[in-house]
Chain A
C-alpha cells in the first residue's frame, strides 16, 4: 500500500494581504503554514499506517521555494518522503495546472490511495483533488469524514459529509482519491525523534518545467479588494458602554 498526501502551503490568516499596484498581484506579509485541511489528510494517512502495512506515505507539494518548510513539517509529522514540485514565486498557478503536474508525477510512481484536504483555506476552490482523480480515472469522494480499507477485496469504504451531520456512504475500488474534511481526526504534534530525522532528510525536488506544461483554462482579469460592504457601525466606548449600547439597539428593534 502506497499513499500520497497532497499538501499546500497557505498564508496564515493573521498575515496582511495587499495588492501590489505595479504588478497587480499579491503582496503578503506574514507567516506561511500547512493548509489545515491537508494536516487532517496527512494525519489520516498516518493513522492508516498504524493499522495496516503501508510501504510509504509520500507528502507532495506544488509551490515556490518557500513551500519546502511545509513539506518538512509533513516529514516531522511522520511522512516517509517529501516531494516538492517547484514552481516560480508568483502563485497564480491554477487548480487545473496543479492537478496536471501532480497527475504526471503519480503516473510515474503509482499510488493506491491519494489524500488531499477538502479545500485550501486560502482560496477554497475544492478543485485539485477531484481533478487529479479524473485525470487518473480513479474514483473519488470529497469531504470525507471517515474511511476504512478492505485490503482483501481491494475496496475502500468512505463516508462523506453532505450537510450538518448527514453523511453519504460510498464503496470504491482501489486506487482511490479522497479529499478529507476537517474534524476527521486530531492532527498530532511532531515527535522529537521525527523532527530530528526530518531535519536531515532529503526532499525530492522536481522543477515544474521538467514536467509537461499545460495551458490555463481560466484567465485572471484582475484582483481587487472586497467592496467596503460594511454598512456596519463600530460601537465605541469602553466594554460597559458598548454592552449598554448593544442592549439599547436590541431593545429599540424589539428583539429584547
Chain B
C-alpha cells in the first residue's frame, strides 16, 4: 500500500444479530487490533441497522473504538444492495486503508461487491497476517488447504474478510470509551428486498453447549453406518452429534448438525472427527476445541493437522472396536465396584 499523507484507518463492518455482535465480528476486531499494531492505524467500527443506539454505545465502551452507526428503516434485515448503498459514502469519506468484516454469509455476500465498487483489493477468508518489510502480508488457504497463499493488496485500499476461528474473540477492558456517531439515512433499494429471516427449527440438542462432539463426514460412506456415530457419542455424557457439510449434503444429517462456515462454530472439550477430510470451512468451525481426535483412512487428510490424536483407520470397523473395548474395560469395571 502506498504511503499516505493523512493517517488512514481500519474500518470493521460489524455483523450483529438480536442486538449483539456475532462471534465472527469479535474475532474480526481482534484481527483489526493485530493490524493496528503492525501499521499503527486506528480502528473504527461501522454498524448498520434499524435501531442501533444501545448496541453502538455498548460496543464503544467494550472496545474503546470509535463507532459509526448507520441507521435507517431499510436495515431491519441485512440486504446487500441496501448495505452497499449505506456504506459507500461514509467509507469514501473515511477512506480507510483496510475494510474488514467476518467471512460469514453476510461478509462474503457484500465484501466482493464492495471491493469492486471502491476499486479495492479483495482478500477473503484470511487466516493469518504478518509483516514483510513495509507491507502487511495476508495468508489464506488454497488448494484444499494444502497450500498457504501469502498475498498483499496492491490497490489504494483493501477489503478483507476474516476466516471464523482464526482469531480469539476481542476481550478488553479499555480505559477510554469510543466516540459514537450516528448517521440516519434513507436508502431505497431498487432491485432487491429482504423480506424475512426464517429461523431454523429447534433441535433437541445444542451443539454449542455439548462437552463432547462426535462428528461425521463423507468417510461415513453410507447411511447404514449412522448408528455407530450415535453409539460412540452415547459413551459420553453431555455429547452431541455433528456433521460436515458433505455429510449433510449426502442427506445423512439435517443441516442443523452442520459445523463450519455456514453451520455452527463449536469449542467442546473433545471433538471426534470421523471420516472428515478437514476442509478449511469445516476446520474454521471446530478448531477452538480443547482436544481433537481424528479418525480417517487417508494419512494425508487435512483434519490431522488440527488433531491432537490421529488415527488412520476405517471408522466403520474402528468405532465398533472402540465401543466394544469400552464396554469390556469400563462396564465390567463399574459392575465390580
Q: Which residues of A contact B (CB under 8 A)?
A: 11, 13, 17, 19, 26, 28, 95-96, 99, 119, 121-131, 133-135, 138-143, 159-173, 181-183, 216-226, 228-235, 239-240, 242-244, 246-247, 249-251, 253, 255-256
Do the beta carbons of B147 and A17 come within 8 Å of each other? yes
In the assembled complex, the Cα of A221 lies from the Cα of B197 at a distance in Å of 41
Which residues on A sit within 8 Å (CB–CB) of B192? 139, 141, 170-173
- Knowing A96-B116, A130-B112, say if A222 contacts B150 (CB, 8 Å): yes
Q: Which residue of B lies closest to A94 (CB)?
A: B122
Residue among A173, A219, A229 with the most chain B CB within 10 A? A219
Which residues on B sit within 8 Å (CB–CB) of A170? 79, 192-195
Which residues on B sit within 8 Å (CB–CB) of A161? 105, 255, 262
- Knowing A123-B142, A165-B201, say if A221 contacts B109 (CB, 8 Å): no
Do the beta carbons of A243 and B151 come within 8 Å of each other? no
Main secondary structure on chain A at its contact with chain B?
mixed
In the assembled complex, the Cα of A140 lies from the Cα of B21 at a distance in Å of 25
In the assembled complex, the Cα of A246 lies from the Cα of B304 at a distance in Å of 15
In the assembled complex, the Cα of A146 lies from the Cα of B324 at a distance in Å of 43
Do the beta carbons of B311 and A217 come within 8 Å of each other? no
Do the beta carbons of B108 and A142 come within 8 Å of each other? yes
Do the beta carbons of B330 and A256 come within 8 Å of each other? yes
A150 to chain B, nearest CB (A): 13
Which residues on B sit within 8 Å (CB–CB) of A142? 105, 108-109
- Knowing A164-B262, A235-B309, say if A219 contacts B122 (CB, 8 Å): no
In the assembled complex, the Cα of A212 lies from the Cα of B323 at a distance in Å of 62
Closest 3 CB pairs of A and B: A165-B200, A134-B113, A139-B191
Number of A-B contacts (CB under 8 A): 267
Q: Which residue of A lies closest to B201 (CB)?
A: A165
With beta carbons under 8 angstroms apart, the residue of A19, A168, A228, A235 that contacts B197 is A168
Chain B residues 155 to 187 lying within 8 A of chain A, measured CB to CB, are 155
Which residues on A sit within 8 Å (CB–CB) of B137? 221
Q: Scan B144-158; emit 1 where CB is below 8 A from any A CB, else 0.
A: 111111111111000
Q: Beyond the given A99-B116, A163-B105, please list 9 additional residue pairs across the A-B interface where CB-CB is below 8 A.
A: A126-B124, A130-B109, A164-B256, A183-B248, A219-B151, A222-B150, A223-B150, A226-B147, A232-B309
Q: Is B280 positioned at the interface, with any CB of A under 8 Å from its CB?
A: yes
Which residues on B sit within 8 Å (CB–CB) of A124? 124-125, 141, 279-281
A177 to chain B, nearest CB (A): 10
Which residues on B sit within 8 Å (CB–CB) of A160? 105, 109
Do the beta carbons of B200 and A225 come within 8 Å of each other? no
Main secondary structure on chain B at its contact with chain A?
mixed
Segment at the interface with A among B36-44, B60-68, B313-321: B313-321
With beta carbons under 8 angstroms apart, the residue of B79, B269, B279, B307 that contacts A232 is B307
Q: Is B6 positioned at the interface, with any CB of A under 8 Å from its CB?
A: no
Do the beta carbons of A217 and B154 come within 8 Å of each other? yes
In the assembled complex, the Cα of A250 lies from the Cα of B120 at a distance in Å of 49
Q: Which residue of A lies closest to B259 (CB)?
A: A164
Do the beta carbons of A217 and B121 come within 8 Å of each other? yes
Which residues on A sit within 8 Å (CB–CB) of B57? none
Which residues on A sit within 8 Å (CB–CB) of B305? 226, 228-230, 232
Do the beta carbons of B293 and A218 come within 8 Å of each other? no
Can you list 7 A-B contacts (CB < 8 A)? A95-B112, A126-B112, A130-B110, A168-B197, A223-B142, A223-B150, A225-B147
Q: Scan B194-205; emit 1 where CB is below 8 A from any A CB, else 0.
A: 111111110000
In the assembled complex, the Cα of A7 lies from the Cα of B29 at a distance in Å of 35
Do the beta carbons of B155 and A217 come within 8 Å of each other? yes
Q: Is B308 positioned at the interface, with any CB of A under 8 Å from its CB?
A: yes
In the assembled complex, the Cα of A122 lies from the Cα of B280 at a distance in Å of 10
Do the beta carbons of A130 and B317 come within 8 Å of each other? no
A15 to chain B, nearest CB (A): 9
B247 to chain A, nearest CB (A): 11
Q: Which residue of A lies closest to B280 (CB)?
A: A124
Do the beta carbons of A239 and B121 come within 8 Å of each other? no
